[in-house]
A = this chain, B = another copy of it.
Amino acid sequence: MKSPKTHPAAVAEDTREKARAASRAERDWSSVFYRVALSISRELDLERLLWLIMDEVRQALEADRCTVFLWDEDTDELWALAAHGAEEIRFPASLGIAGHVLRTGEVLNIPDAYNDPRFNPAIDRETGYRTRSILTAPLRNHVGETIGVFQVLNKESGPFTREDELLLDAISGIAATQIENARLYAELKDSFESFVETLASIIDARDPETAGHSKRLALYCEELARLLDLSAQDTEKLRIAALLHDYGKIAVREAILYKADALTEDEQESMRNHPVFTRRILEEIHFPKTLRDVPQIAAAHHERLDGSGYPDGLTGEEIPPLARLLAVVDVFDAMTSRRSYRGRMDLRDVMEELRRGQGRLYDATYVEALEQLSVARFLEILNDGELSFMSSADREVLSGLDLRTLVNLLNTNVPTPEVRLFERYYLPDETQGCENGQT
């Protein structure tokens, strides 16, 4: 640690007035620390946590900038979040002042950067920023491992003080602990989500007729959630319900699932029962509070506004809104996917079918949202989310176009470049034959 610089008690004459100032500063110190500790310990989302820490420390130390660099063990690099849109910052952990602090565990308080040989002015030259003072401290977890580095720049009122060092060191303990909590939480969340995705891919693989269906549904749901500006919580709920909505098919015998001929009445009954099984299975899972109605949403994807759906024949408002959304994209994906007995349906017919059912079978809000989907994204999802099948120039052309406009163009029967492009992707040659054979 550096020796104290401007701590009032350390430099003050031994007078009552100065002792009181010290006591006040001490009190400020603990109230600042308390506020920061409380604020930091609330956040379990890693990215939000890192932003929060940087912001809190910047304010607490009355500095212009604060960055948290985390050590990436696998690559031996330091990395930091960058402002929205920009790529994260990354450099070898052996470099610069941050690297020095990571290796030595020292707190470095540099009052004047340009007078310190360890400072690298190259970044200032690049960015136009003028670094004056720097305070850098290690982030140590509870077993004393340094997991990263705090770097605070340009204290407003001059160089950083001994108090700033102490405060930063104290915050660093809480921050490192909470970063590790957030990592544990993220790891578990990731496990849960990858489990759901793995399940979905198994459901999808089991029925070759609808291969990739659950995954595509989840992707459509994400797009519509964005277009409708749904909350993060509703989006997540919808995504999980989409991935699991057909899980009940696991209880439908393969003999029925794979049957090429028309199903008997009993077999149809068994097929129509799959949402009941979906609900029954999903109700066994103790979903977190925020995902508690996933089973209801997933099980109602075949319900229709007029009560003609199954399994419960729910009507209108009885159907959860997110299930009404799921119903629209479920039908949409069925019609735009190939089947063994037909190619993809003509997109005009698909949208016409949804339009006709709007208000009677399907919730108009979600049909209209679907019409706003970009054609480029639609084609990507149709190809199970693979971005590589389309050239970026083509994607550029098609991303400005939404489904509604495309259908209008298709209806005018004038083969604009966009329409020709779309048709190339929507009806690739290998199915052309099959489709022609059917129509």
Contacts and interface: CB of A to CB of B under 8 A. Distances in A.
A12 to B, nearest CB: 11
A26 B16 contact: no
Contact of A185 (B185, B205, B284): B185
A27 B22 CA distance: 10
Contacts of A178: 41
A38 B192 contact: no
Given A22-B23, A30-B30, A192 B188 contact: yes
B184 A142 contact: no
B41 A190 contact: no
B284 A201 contact: yes
A429 to B, nearest CB: 31
Contacts of A291: 191
A208 B195 CA distance: 25
Contacts of A42: 142, 177, 180-181
Interface stretch (A86-94, A218-226, A250-258, A394-402): A250-258
B198 A284 contact: yes
Nearest to A197: B284
Interface residues of A, number: 58
Nearest to A16: B16
Given A174-B37, A285-B195, A189 B187 contact: no
Contacts of A287: 191
Contacts of A255: 254
A19 interface: yes
Contacts of A54: none
Interface of A: 9, 14-16, 19-20, 22-23, 26-27, 29-30, 33-34, 37-38, 41-42, 44, 142, 170, 173-174, 177-178, 180-181, 184-185, 187-192, 194-199, 201-202, 205-206, 250-251, 253-255, 281, 284-289, 291
Given A9-B23, A16-B19, 8 more contacts: A26-B26, A26-B27, A44-B185, A184-B185, A188-B288, A191-B192, A198-B281, A198-B284
Q: Across the A-B interface, give the 7 residue pairs with the lowest CB-CB distance, nearest first.
A: A30-B30, A23-B23, A194-B286, A16-B16, A198-B284, A19-B19, A187-B288
